[in-house]
Amino acid sequence: IGPVAIISILIATGVSGVAEQGSEQYIAIVLGIALMVGVTQFLMGLSRLGFLMNFLSNPVLSGFTSAAAFIIGFSQAGNLLGIDLEGSKYVIVVIADIYQNIGQIHLPTFALGLGSLAFILIIQKI
């Protein structure tokens, strides 16, 4: 579990403005981006350009990681609660949507989700 999923969310958001999600064009664009990023990382590794990360300050990295956790958490809120939420990029809209659908929360799904989160947190402490 980490901030890697934020990259997937950013790519999905960016590409969905160009092509319909799930279409062949969408998949081709996403695969093209993945290939370009992979080649770029490989070439940067061969060129020993990892020192460039030293120019990113700790507050920037910490802020990115915290924002990633926040965005990922709210993007999965509907799945955790077992309800259908409108996919909005605004947190306040997601919170309002959760509030409007609070009576439709699927308790077994919610209990399983909370149990899984507790398990992950306990395993990290061990």
* DSSP assignment of 15-31: HHTTS-TTSHHHHHHHH
- Ordered per-residue pLDDT tens for the chain, 126 residues: 455 677 887 888 889 889 998 899 999 999 999 999 999 999 999 999 988 888 888 898 888 888 888 888 888 888 999 998 877 777 888 899 999 999 999 999 999 999 999 999 999 998
pLDDT for res 84: 87
Cβ-based burial of 57 (10 A; exposed 0-12, middle 13-18, buried ≥19): exposed
How far is 33 from 15, CA to CA, in rounded Å?
10
pLDDT for res 67: 84
pLDDT for res 1: 45
pLDDT for res 106: 94
pLDDT for res 94: 87
Q: What is the reported pTM?
A: 0.61
